[in-house]
Structure formats: C-alpha cells, structure tokens
Structure 1
Amino acid sequence: MAPLPFQFLCALGQDGILCASRGDMLYTFGADCSLIAEHSLGARPAATSTEGAKEEEEKRTQAPQNGSSEATSQAQGVEGSEAATPPPKRRKVGSEAAVSSAQPAAGIDQAQQANGSQKRKNAEKPVEATEKSYAILLKATSNGSHVVVVTGGNKTVCVLEHDGKGILLNSVKALTADGEKTILVADKFGDVYALPLIPSADDSLDEGAAALQESTRLARKGANNLTVHTQRNLKALEEQARQRAAKQQQKEQQKETGPTFKQDLLLGHVSMLTSVAVASADGRSYILTGDRDEHIRVSRGIPQAHVIDNFCLGHTSFISTICLPQPDLLVSGGGDSELYAWDWKAGVLKSKVELLQHAKNEANVDGDKIAVTGLYPYNVAGDAGLLMAVCERVKAVFVFKVQDGKLTYVETINLAGYPLDVAFVQVPGQQSRMVVSLDQDIEGPSSSSGLYVHLLGSEGQQQPPVYPNPEGGRIDLSRPEVEKILYTVGNLRKTEFDDVTAGGDQVAAGEIEEKLAQ
C-alpha cells in the first residue's frame, strides 16, 4: 500500500499560513511549519482489501449461537426486513443453470455451493477506493479570507471562511464591496459559469411561484370531490390522490439536488476547457480560456463575456495551463515541448522557450513528449519576475526569468519525487518559501510529509524548514489507485482516432476511406 500524498497547495494571506489538501482532508500549517488544524470535506475512502468485506461478513454472521433468544430476535428482524421488500431476480449462471430437477437435494447443495463461491469471489474483489469527495482543485482569495475547494464526482464547489489564524469555517460571512465576489468555474463540456462566492438573498432562485403553479395544475387535473357523488367514486378519487402524492414524493426523492443560487453561463467552447485566467487592460476586464483543441480564446469580461476579442493560435497539442506573469504577457503550456509567450491583447505569439530539452538534459527524462501540469509566476522587486513550470512525472521544477515579455531559462531544481502543486508562502521577516507537494512513490508509513521547501533568493546556506506529516488524515491506497487520482493531464493528449473523429487529421481520414473502398 502507498500513502496518498498532499496534492494541492495555496497560501492564505501574507502571514505564512499554508493550506494543503490530501484526499478529502484540508490541513493548515503555520509560519513555523507546525500543524494548525484539519478540516474534513466528506466521507473517508473505502477499504481496498478484503478486510472490510470480512469485517462486514463477520458482523452479519456473529449472531449468538445455541438458539438463544437474542439470536432468534435478530433472525426475526432480518426476515422481517427481507419480507418487506421482495428480493431482486437472480440470473442463472454457472452451475446454477445446470441444476437438474430430477435430483432436488443434490441440486440444492450445488446451488448453495455456487452461491458461496460467488460470495467469496465478490468479497475478494477490491472495493473502489476513489471517493467522490476528493479535492481536485484548491484556490484561495488574494487576501486569504476564503478557500475554494472543488471536489470531483459529486460536482461540488465548497467555500470555506478563513479566520486569519489557520482555522477554516464552514459558515461564511458577507464580503465587503472591494473583495472578490465571483467564482469562474469551467467544466469539461467547454462552458464557463459565474457563481457567487457567497450566495446572498438576491442570488437565490425563486421556486415559490413554480411550486404554486404545479400544485394548481395538479388540483385542476381530472375529477375532484365536487364532481363525484357516490361513495365508490369518492373512495376511488381518494385512492388516486394518495397514489399521486406517493408518486410525487418519490420523484422528489429521486430528483438530483441542484444549486439553490443563480449560475450565469458566460461563454462556451466546442472542446474540453482546461484552464481559465482573468486579465484586465485599458480599464476593461477579460476572460482567457484554453482548451484541449489547442485554442486560447480572449473574451470580454462580465457582462460582455459573449464578445470574443481574438484568439491566440499556435499550439500543436493540448493546452493544460495558462498564467499571467505580467499584465500584458500570457504564458501557456500543455502537450507541446515548449512554453508559449503571448501578447494576449493582440493575439500575437511573442516567443517560445524550450522545455522538453531541459527535461532531458537536467532531469534525465526519457521520451519525446511531456505534459505541463502547472505554471506558477512569482513576482519580485523590479520589472523582472520568475516563472516555475512543472510537468507530469518529471522530478524537477524548471525556473524561468520573465522580463520584457520574454522567458529565459534560469535553472532546474531536481526533486525527490514528482511535483504535484506549487505555492509561494510569504513569511514576515523571513525569506519567501516555494513549497512543492511531492509524490515520492514510497510504500508503507513514512515520516516525510512530501512537502519540499525551497527558500527563494537563498544560495543554500540556510536550512529550509520542514513540514510535519499528520497522522490523522493518512490515506493508504494501492499504487494504481494513487496514480489514477494524481496523473490525469497526459490523458488529454489526442490519439489518431481522436484526430480522425474530430476532423483534424484529414490525411488519416482519407487513408481510412481508401482502405474501406478497397
């Protein structure tokens, strides 16, 4: 079994507080790297071995023996519950289908043995371990007052309030007029929605009128107690009303719980949307979006998001991440071997900088493809800044200098594991920290938290601080399950089949047509 590492990081304000996610748990660390608090997002992961199934089986079969009254009452309770709901139909498989009616006793024994072996096979199957409440994105507002967590599978965006001391609260307060009030959410269908950071009374959906209209419609439908006069018809009418109410209640229970606040559709792509950034220029706001089909689109901000200003075109593979290290400079990366620097306002490619070659030379990467998973700008005094780039399954952080709209390679920081996320933590009176969450691919318990600390501006004389590894939220999974959770960006790369079906590879499509004609 392998431990699930910390996956996403974000700094909360300028007081040195770091927030990290691992599975369905959030952790906050102080400026001295001590653990402040743990916050649960949902249910724990299911068991991945047969132990959970064995424990469940023991609980069901641990009834007192020797025919005691307690055993009798438990058996009656089980029989009563089974009688209340009819058992589902069973499909005849294996030896059950071969049971002969000429030998009933032997047939029953064979069927029981088949059932027992089938139960044992089912118990030996590993239970799905990836819970739907796992965090797949973690962001914080610029002042660190709120944390936004996206959990996969259950389509949930959680907003938690930060009290300024490392404690996350489920209840949130109203924001001031100058604070961030809108969340931009992109989905895999290519749509971008605007959600309120904290829903107010003005953002709630008015469902009262719709419910009143529906009840009025049901009341007018069919006969009522004013149109029937016999006892038999009246009883039939009451039975119809009861059945209608039961059916309506069943529909209410089965209906998915939707949002209770407004969500505004801003714009849409025809491809899977992978990255979103917000920019401003000339007193106007813009929304920059990148997708799997190599497009970067520059749209107006709210409320004119339907207006497209231009596109930044030039990538030959998927785009996985974009960032703005400078207000007028957009940097994008994905499945290409270079990083692209754009004048996004004009839609012009300014320069490219090699990334794959540095990965081969400094990080001992084999192969001719890489997948960029994150770009992290760090602003320093003056016009120059730094940009950190990390790639999937590459044990390094690549550092570039950003100046005059160009990227210049600086160095490669080799790591002990695969980088998953990067955060810059400002500590008052100390050097700033670059904290990197690592997948160290280790088996069994470990004292290492997998949070690597690099002191920015340091020449290596100072010993970087160490973050602890909390035991309370430790999650052990099999290595394939860990990789299924952590490494998803490389799957964005298109295959030949994707190109043909999308109409992007006309040559391959023509070859297929020729083969079919032959």
Structure 2
Amino acid sequence: MKIPYNQVHANGGIFFAARSGQIHTFGLAHGKHISTWKHPDVEGVAEAVNKKNMVDEEKRDLAAGAGDAETSQEAGQEPPAKRQRTVSDDDVSTSKAVETSEGQSRSGTPTDSEKKQKKKGKAANQHGKSGRSQSRVPERPIVTHLTSTVDGKHLLAITGHDKTIWVFEHDGAGHLSNPTRRAMPKRPSAVVIGPDSQILSADKFGDVYSLPLVPTGAPVTTTLRPMPKPKTQPAANELTVHSKRNLTALKAQQKQIEEARLKGGDAKPDVPDFELTLQLGHVSLLTALALAERGGRTYTLTADRDEHIRVSRYLPQAHVIENFCLGHKEFIGALVIPPTRGHVLISGGGDTDLFVWDWHSGKVLSKTGVLSVAQKIDTAVAKVAVSNLYSLVYPAESGNLTYVLAICEDIKAIFSWQLTEESILNHPGVIQLPGNPLALSIVSAEDGPPKILVAQDPGSNSPVNSLSLFSLTMNEGRLSVDTTSQLGEDVADSADLEATEQEVRNLLYGMENLRKQKEAEDNGEDGGVAESAEPAATED
C-alpha cells in the first residue's frame, strides 16, 4: 500500500503536505501541485526496498519450486534435478575435513570443522535457501511535524528517523529553498516557533531546548542551564528507579560508563556544533507544547506522559515554574489554546474527557466526554487516545463562534465542540471520515467559514485520497461538512512510498502506546522515567 500523507500545514494561499520523507507544496485556490522536497535518505531507502523485494521474490520462487518437487514425488514422477551448489573459497577450505555421507568424521564424532560447517548451514537456512543474507532496509525517513512562521517566510519540519530539525526559506509561492538541518540530541516530540524567532523543541527524554530559527553558526551556548557534563556515574540509581524497564536502561547506562572508564576516558555526551540551549525539563516523556500570553508576558506550557501540564515562563526565564494543571488520570496527547480565548487551555489524551482549564491558575473550568461521543458512531469503542486538538473561529450572525476540534487515533472521525463564554464545550458534532485522520490544518477564509485540510489514512485498496479539503457549515450550533474536495492526485508516486500495512502503522501510529497498562503497573513496569534512564517506550 501507499504511505499516506501524515502532516499538513496551510499558510496564506499555500499548503504543505508531508508523506514519508517528502514535503509537497500545493496552491489552495486550485489544489495543484507546485513543488517537492525529498529527504536525502529517500533514494537510499527506495533502493533498499527494491533490493529486499527482489530477494523476497527469489525466496518465494524457491519455495514454490520446492513445493512443485514434493507434488511431483507424490504423483510418482521423477523429482527435478538438483541444482549444483556453488561454494565460496571459505566453504572450500572448510570442507577439507574428512566427512562421511552422514556429515561426520570417520571416528563418528563431529570435528571442529564439521561443527563450524553445520552452524554455517543453519545460518544459511535462516537467511534463505539461496545462501544470501536477508536485506536490511534502513529506517524510513518520515516527517513528523510541519509548521511555519506567521509571515510564511520559513517552513519548519522535523524528520523523526534522524532527529533533525529542518528550516526552509519559502518564497510565498510554494517554492522551498536553502534548507538547514540540525540534528537534536534526542528525537523531538513537539515543536513551536516563538515570537522572537526562537524554536522550542520538546523531546521524548523530557527536555525542552531552544535554538534560533536561522542558524547563527555560533557554538552551543550554556546561558541558562549548562549542557550535561561528562558523567562518572548516572544521576539515577536503584533506589530512584522503580520500573523494570527503567532499571534495565539504568544498568545499560552504568555498563557504558564503566566501559569508558576502563578505557581511560569518560562517557561523553554528543555535543551539537550549533547554538542550542537546554531551557527546562520534565522527568517524563514530553508529548505536547504550546505558547500562551497573559498580562503582556509569554508562557510555555508543556505536557507529558505522566499526566502533568506545567506552566513555565518563556525565555529567558524558562526555569521559573508558575504552576501546574493537574487532574488527568492518563497520558496527555495534545494541547490547544484558542486564539480568541487566550486564558483558556484545552487538553486531551488517554482520558475519556477533554479538560478545559484556566491555565494561569491551574483551575479546571469544565470537562466534556470524548469517549461518549465516539461511541455514538461505534459502540465497540472502549477507549480513546486524543492525538491532536485544533481551534477555529466560525463567523455567525450573532458574532464569531469558537470551536475546538479533536482527532483520536484509529477513529474515523473529527469531533467538534463549541466553546461557550462560560468555558464549556457544547454542541458536540461528528464529521465521519472514510479513513483515520492523521493531521488537520485550519484554512481561514475572509469571505466565509473556514475550511479543514485533512490528511488521513484511507487504508489499503481504498479509492479515497489521502488529502481532502472540507468546506464547513453550521447546523444548530454543530459543525458539519458542506462540500469535499480531493487533493494530491497530480503528484507522481515514488518507490519509497510503498509499504506494508504493518509498516504504515509502525510509522504513523503510536499514541496508544503511551497508555500505561494496569498489568505493567502492578508488576512495577509502568514506564515511569528516571532522571537519566530513558524508558523503553522512548525512541532516540
């Protein structure tokens, strides 16, 4: 099947859509394709995939030939002649041992050479009867985040497989140029662009770094908090790590440091060669990041897997914690602050409800059910994992109305609520989709209601496009779709887009993996994060 589009972002009259390691630009007015950027690793992965497919096809042919031979013997026919086995020089030198027809020495006891040959034969069987080793496909490049500056002059993208932040210059007409790449210490999990052209990048190790939008060429800075120094021992220990997975990670870390010490050195962390500042950190995997303003001051809001939302001051006082928004019982997957209601924060994740907060005071203003709405379209749904939240403003005769949209992993729908002046989510609406929504982008219109740009996974053998543009209408306070346009049809297919359904799931689905299983908690394996030991669920 084709890897679907998984990230979309609209700005002005252009929208950007990412699939696999490619970023495509389109015109919003006509939906026509303008340009394509490919990650440097795309061609290498495509070549590796082709080689693997050839090897797999050869194995299938050999298996089919073996099946034909068995069928012939059952029918009383002569078996096909065996092909002459070709051997390498190593095989010839190994076969000099004297063997009997049973593969043993004349004394009846296998020699060392015979044992080696037997092991080599087992390895060959494991890698295929052709004697070739299995082809290893490198990790696919995948764009995990897309955003841009307000003026649209720069596009920011993150590729997860190499932990890299890319910044492109955009001419406003859909053409990207002069990309810069900066590999982060850990894989970014959320990103925002600040008002001072600073990038804030949160990662799965619990840290938030700042770096300039345009690289300055300056070395790593330690203005606020110093970068980690070479350690002689981990900060965590057996008394502070309580889960089995973190204990395993801690022991591996201790072993690495000990090996470095025996070699006469320290376990030195990788230090980037560009300006990068560690601003704040959680002791858990970070999942969402947002910026808010109040009283002329900017704040950074961070959410993690351990149900915490922290409100910190923006740069250069990111170390100052204002408060916490506490109340979630499951992981938090998304945050959104409606532009018309800056004092209100909506959060969602593994809980059955969305939470509405006064983020500055940490007070819960209201809750509304997500699971109950999802069960109206599918009664078999037993839990939800909110993967993203969005906000839009709908012009009405009574004035502008604020709506909150939510998408959940593996649920083919977009959920919407109207946010009232009392900070309550009312008028729940459902826009059902033919595929699982992966990302949305709100397209504002000067002369009418906004539109929703949707990247979805239509599944295999589906005639539905991965990209769609929905025009909205409102009925009794609920949002619904007026018209639908299919996009992306004129983009040429590429070999790196072919993948199995399981590969697509591994690439694009993972929110539900953040949920802590009850059985694991009972066994002390809840994935809590130690200060220096990265959890097993965390990827670099």
| TM-score, normalized by the shorter chain, greater than 0.5 | yes
The one-character-per-residue Cα deviations of 1:52-91 (angstroms, maximum 9, x if unpaired) are 437999xxxxxxxxxxxxxxxxxxxx99xx9xxxxxxxxx
From the superposition, tell whether residues 113 and 316 of structure 1 become closer, same or farther in structure 2 (CA, over 3 Å). Answer: closer
Partner of 1:490: 512
Aligned-pair distance for 1:7?
0.3
Partner of 1:377: 391
The one-character-per-residue Cα deviations of 1:8-27 (angstroms, maximum 9, x if unpaired) are 1101x222x11011010011
Aligned-pair distance for 1:148?
1.2
Aligned-pair distance for 1:270?
1.1
Partner of 1:137: 145
Cα pair 2:389 2:404 within 8 Å, conserved: yes
Partner of 2:78: none
From the superposition, tell whether residues 26 and 161 of structure 1 become closer, same or farther in structure 2 (CA, over 3 Å). Answer: same
**Are residues 1:412 and 2:430 paired?**
yes
- Secondary structure of the corresponding residue to residue 170 of structure 1: strand
**d(CA) in 2 for partners of 1:198 and 1:99?**
69
Gapped regions of structure 1 (runs ≥ 5)? 58-77, 83-97, 173-177, 207-254, 506-518
**Are residues 1:189 and 2:205 paired?**
yes
Alignment of 1:339-354 (within 5 A): 339-354=354-369
Cα pair 2:409 2:509 within 8 Å, conserved: yes
Cα pair 1:397 1:413 within 8 Å, conserved: yes
**Are residues 1:477 and 2:499 paired?**
yes
Cα pair 2:305 2:514 within 8 Å, conserved: yes
Partner of 1:252: none
**d(CA) in 1 for partners of 2:517 and 2:122?**
44
Aligned-pair distance for 1:154?
1.6
**d(CA) in 2 for partners of 1:379 and 1:109?**
72
The one-character-per-residue Cα deviations of 1:167-223 (angstroms, maximum 9, x if unpaired) are 111347xxxxx965111111111111111111124x3349xxxxxxxxxxxxxxxxx
**Are residues 1:53 and 2:55 paired?**
yes
**d(CA) in 1 for partners of 2:274 and 2:120?**
54
Gapped regions of structure 2 (runs ≥ 5)? 60-87, 91-102, 181-193, 222-267, 528-540
Cα pair 1:4 1:22 within 8 Å, conserved: yes
**Are residues 1:453 and 2:487 paired?**
no
From the superposition, tell whether residues 52 and 197 of structure 1 become closer, same or farther in structure 2 (CA, over 3 Å). Answer: farther
From the superposition, tell whether residues 111 and 486 of structure 1 become closer, same or farther in structure 2 (CA, over 3 Å). Answer: closer
Aligned-pair distance for 1:112?
7.5
- Secondary structure of the corresponding residue to residue 337 of structure 2: strand
Cα pair 1:54 1:123 within 8 Å, conserved: no
The TM-score normalised by the length of structure 2 is 0.68
Cα pair 2:431 2:481 within 8 Å, conserved: no
Aligned-pair distance for 1:452?
2.3
From the superposition, tell whether residues 50 and 418 of structure 1 become closer, same or farther in structure 2 (CA, over 3 Å). Answer: same
**Are residues 1:277 and 2:298 paired?**
no
Partner of 1:424: 442
Letter in 1 for 2:283: V
After superposition, the CA RMSD in angstroms is: 3.6
- Secondary structure of the corresponding residue to residue 120 of structure 1: coil
Letter in 2 for 1:305: A
**d(CA) in 2 for partners of 1:401 and 1:308?**
31
**d(CA) in 1 for partners of 2:520 and 2:122?**
44
**d(CA) in 2 for partners of 1:39 and 1:299?**
36
Identify the match of residue 265 of structure 1 among 270, 274, 278: 278
Runs of 4+ in 1 over 4 A off after TM superposition: 54-57, 101-104, 106-116, 121-126, 255-258, 427-431, 458-463, 500-505
Identify the match of residue 334 of structure 2 among 289, 299, 321: 321
Aligned-pair distance for 1:126?
6.7
From the superposition, tell whether residues 10 and 463 of structure 1 become closer, same or farther in structure 2 (CA, over 3 Å). Answer: same
**d(CA) in 1 for partners of 2:323 and 2:444?**
36
Letter in 2 for 1:195: L
Identify the match of residue 166 of structure 1 among 174, 187, 195: 174
- Secondary structure of the corresponding residue to residue 502 of structure 2: helix
Identify the match of residue 468 of structure 1 among 488, 491, 494: 488
Cα pair 2:4 2:19 within 8 Å, conserved: yes
Aligned-pair distance for 1:384?
2.4
**Bigger Cα Rg:** 1
From the superposition, tell whether residues 49 and 441 of structure 1 become closer, same or farther in structure 2 (CA, over 3 Å). Answer: farther
- Secondary structure of the corresponding residue to residue 374 of structure 2: helix
Cα pair 1:138 1:148 within 8 Å, conserved: yes
Aligned-pair distance for 1:110?
6.8
- Secondary structure of the corresponding residue to residue 303 of structure 1: coil
From the superposition, tell whether residues 315 and 171 of structure 1 become closer, same or farther in structure 2 (CA, over 3 Å). Answer: closer
**Are residues 1:333 and 2:335 paired?**
no
The one-character-per-residue Cα deviations of 1:309-340 (angstroms, maximum 9, x if unpaired) are 11111111110111101200000000001100
How many equivalent residue pairs? Answer: 410
From the superposition, tell whether residues 118 and 167 of structure 1 become closer, same or farther in structure 2 (CA, over 3 Å). Answer: same
- Secondary structure of the corresponding residue to residue 128 of structure 2: helix
Aligned-pair distance for 1:365?
4.6
Partner of 1:64: none
Q: Whose helix fraction is larger, Structure 1's or Structure 2's? A: 1
Letter in 1 for 2:349: G
**d(CA) in 1 for partners of 2:342 and 2:16?**
26
**d(CA) in 2 for partners of 1:141 and 1:200?**
18
- Secondary structure of the corresponding residue to residue 380 of structure 1: strand
From the superposition, tell whether residues 315 and 40 of structure 1 become closer, same or farther in structure 2 (CA, over 3 Å). Answer: same
Identity %, equivalent residues: 33
Of residues 366-375 and 255-264 in structure 1, the stretch that sits farther from structure 2 once superposed is 255-264
Partner of 1:438: 456
From the superposition, tell whether residues 355 and 126 of structure 1 become closer, same or farther in structure 2 (CA, over 3 Å). Answer: farther
Aligned-pair distance for 1:259?
2.6
Aligned-pair distance for 1:496?
2.8
- Secondary structure of the corresponding residue to residue 456 of structure 1: strand
**d(CA) in 2 for partners of 1:281 and 1:461?**
35
Letter in 2 for 1:140: S
Alignment of 1:105-124 (within 5 A): 116-120=124-128, 123=132
**d(CA) in 2 for partners of 1:199 and 1:347?**
36
The TM-score normalised by the length of structure 1 is 0.71
From the superposition, tell whether residues 56 and 195 of structure 1 become closer, same or farther in structure 2 (CA, over 3 Å). Answer: farther
